[in-house]
Amino acid sequence: MSFLGVDASLTGRRWTGPAPEISRAAEALVQQTGLADAVCQVLARRGVTADEADAFMAPALRDLLPDPRSLRDMEKAAARVIQAVTRKERIAIFADYDVDGGSSAALLIVWLRELGLPATLYVPDRIDEGYGPNDDAMRDLAARHDLIICVDCGTLSHGPVTAAEGADVVILDHHLGAEDLPAALAVVNPNRQDESGDLSHLCAAAVVFLLLVEMGRLLREAGTTGPDLMQMLDLVALATVADVAPLRGVNRAFVRQGLRVMAARRRPGLAALADVARMDTRPSAYHLGFLLGPRVNAGGRIGAADLGARLLATDDPHEAAALAERLDALNTERREIEAAVRAAALDQAQERGFDHGLVWAAGTGWHPGVVGIVASRLKEASGRPSIVIGIEDGVGKGSGRSVTGIDLGQPIQRLAAEGLLMRGGGHKMAAGLTVAADQIEPAMARLTELLEKQGAHLTGASDLRLDGLLMPGAARVELVETLETAGPFGAGAAAPRFAFADMAIRFAKRVGESHLKISFSDGTGPVMEGIAFGAYDGPLGAALENHGGARLHLAGRLDINTWRGRRTVQLRLEDAAVA
């Protein structure tokens, strides 16, 4: 049964409310904990019992942190890096060019620097070198270094690891592994095929952090104190959110504690980035995913690939300010490039149709640095796994994004093994590929076949799941603050959404390029503010601006808006329906 009788909203979605068993569990939680009903709805949806509520609302990292030695090769990796530190060896860090890779590299660079050992950073150029280690780069690094640490890459790099003759190679990664591993000294990866899978939800930066924990233990055994790891959790939090790792278990604790560390603004790079992004409130998971993450990524997408890692690792405020400004400018340029590719890709994908298990588009000259973002947009529009490929000189470089319940990484890896792709890999929700231009059609047909075996053709535009009803008078700052303690929210932990029923629009105005600012009330209580980002990219903006006095059901998430020291609750509007 639809919630509030909304079977087709202004954006074409059906609204659903809490399942009866969730509502019953929430009622019991209200009685047992005294927490607000809206908060208990969130806890019940996450399966939290009354006995677990206090611990869930205040997760302690010490209780959730896994034993680093539960990961294969961890002890070998930690011992080898400690040996390099003790002997003052030459260390190179080979990192992926995204936020996870940059954060992972920064963690190691900062840790080593605090122990008096500089490290060489190497980030491959996305266009010239592509993802992961390559023979030439690894051979060159091996000629000048004793140890090469590959972060957020390397698990499938058999040839490049072999090319690093004369240096030991340690791999710290989280991408899906094949049956055979490269001939590295250690491959620490929770997604190795011989791992249990219990830690498969970790991003690469979290794997690196576990290595630092294990190395800290080794230092203590030797009577030495290592760097303060708790102060490094801001980097782990950034990577966890930006890499869309599910916010459950230790990931949730990483992000919660990391946001507290970030709020202190002790890391020059993140403080400078927050300033150029005009962040004027305490950092949240939203800021990591939508303000800071895209700017860190911008260098690897369309600029110098190492800018993001350098920003995150620097301890010089002046260098941080300069790098942040450059990344902010690149991010603006990236948005312009993305808009053009998005429009062309969407037209092509719509012409091909959204009724198959894969939505895809390919075009000559599409910048490889934005195809991943555009794939995300296609996924959002279609509710299906999506691939976008940019073609240059007869070779296509593509990126894909999946939907919940559909594994994209494994089929991509299978296509590479079958010879339809030149290379490919990733994880369940995101993957990359390189393919000959004349093989794109058969490769995408085969990928569609594999995804449909998982039921990808049965997915579609998602229903809007709501946690309940609220009145404007109940949406107080105190409620939002309590809801935030049940977070952070993101992948695998949907933010609570509420409906405001039978509202009258008091004010509606377009702001910026595509956003809508509104105020509304039920006619008897207080007026509440709302903002609908990207409303004019779809039907929502025009419909609400031209409401004609109609009463409407409004749905979305609650935010705290700070203006000139005054804090008020606003609705981040996502959908609406005629009452």
Per residue in 410-448, pLDDT tens? 999 999 999 999 999 888 888 999 999 999 999 999 999
Q: Are 139 and 163 in contact (CB under 8 A)?
A: yes
- Lay out the sheet containing 147-151: strands in order across: 119-122, 91-95, 147-151, 168-172, 186-188
Token pair 């992004």: residue: 277
Among candidates 373, 320, 381, which has minimal Cα distance to 352?
381
Query: In this structure, is residue 334 part of a structural domain?
Result: no
Q: Are 436 and 430 in contact (CB under 8 A)?
A: no
Q: Does residue 80 share a domain with residue 34?
A: no
Q: How many residues does the chain have?
A: 579
User: What does the H/E/C string look like for 213-249?
Assistant: HHHHHHHHHCCCCCCCHHHHHHHHHHHHHHCCCCCCC
Q: Which residue has the higher pLDDT, 158 or 462?
A: 158
Token pair 């539960």: residue: 70
Mean pLDDT (the chain) is 94
The terminus-to-terminus CA distance of the chain in angstroms comes to 16
217 has pLDDT over 80:
yes
Q: Mean pLDDT throughout 503-519?
A: 93
Q: Mean pLDDT throughout 274-290?
A: 92
Q: Does residue 305 share a domain with residue 437?
A: no
Q: Does residue 282 share a domain with residue 138?
A: yes
438: CATH: 3.10.310.30
Number of domains in the chain: 4
- Domain hosting 537: range is 3-17+466-578
Query: In this structure, is residue 145 part of a structural domain?
Result: yes
Q: Does residue 24 share a domain with residue 10?
A: no
494: CATH: 2.40.50.460
Please report which confidence band the pLDDT of residue 462 belongs to, taking 50, 70 and 90 as the band edges: low
Q: Which residue has the higher pLDDT, 491 or 484?
A: 484
Per residue in 329-353, pLDDT tens? 999 999 999 999 999 999 999 999 8
Query: In this structure, is residue 26 part of a structural domain?
Result: yes
pLDDT confidence of residue 128:
86
Per residue in 409-419, pLDDT tens? 999 999 999 99
User: 125-132 long-range CB contacts below 8 Å, 24 or more apart?
Assistant: 125/97, 125/305, 126/97, 126/300, 126/301, 126/305, 126/368, 126/369, 127/368, 127/369, 130/397, 130/423, 130/434, 131/96, 131/97, 131/425, 131/432, 132/96, 132/156, 132/157, 132/160
CA distance 188 to 422: 25
Per residue in 353-403, pLDDT tens? 888 999 999 999 999 999 999 999 999 888 899 999 999 999 999 999 998
Q: Does residue 174 share a domain with residue 69?
A: yes
Q: Does residue 146 share a domain with residue 258?
A: yes
pLDDT confidence of residue 381:
82
pLDDT confidence of residue 459:
65
pLDDT confidence of residue 71:
98
Q: Does residue 403 share a domain with residue 371?
A: yes
Q: Are 328 and 334 in contact (CB under 8 A)?
A: no
- Lay out the sheet containing 386-392: strands in order across: 359-364, 386-392, 395-401, 430-436, 423-426
Please give the biggest Cα pair distance in the chain: 76
Q: Mean pLDDT throughout 34-38?
A: 91
Question: Where are the strands (E) in 42-103, listed by range?
Answer: 91-95
